[in-house]
Structure 1
Amino acid sequence: MSDFNLGKLIIEHRKAAGLTQLQLADLAGIGKTTVFDIEKNKQSIRLDSLIAVLNVLNIDVQFISPLKK
């Protein structure tokens, strides 16, 4: 099991960019509650909302299938 914390990473990048949750939400085109949920690692986040936040913060993510050898 990984100790990776996506919510914490997003908080760190958001703060480094000098953005509030509301500002990040506005830039990503999503609601402030969604940013809050992402930062709290809620499991019910829509992938497109997460990708919008990652794009605003210039965080590149690679999705690797566990089925690929």
Structure 2
Amino acid sequence: MALSYKARKRWSLFVLLVGFPLYIILAWGILSRLNLWQLPLVVEFLIYVFFGVAWIFPLKPIFKGVGQPDPDAKD
């Protein structure tokens, strides 16, 4: 089921205002429990990069085209 433009816009706002802060808290909690200081710096960096970009891949369809004008709007 494809989401309408309005629905995607609302969901993207919800994800950015509610979901993303919750994800940050979750990722911070997980990463704080790991002993990252024992790992090489490159591995630690890759773990932080993974957690930094992993959230966007499942949510990409919601954000796609939200910044564009509404395609269903009448001129």
TM-score between both structures, scaled by the size of structure 2:
0.30
TM-score between both structures, scaled by the size of structure 1:
0.32
Q: Which has the higher helix share?
A: 2
| Larger Rg belongs to | 2
Q: Which has the higher contact order (CA 8 A, sep 6+)?
A: 2
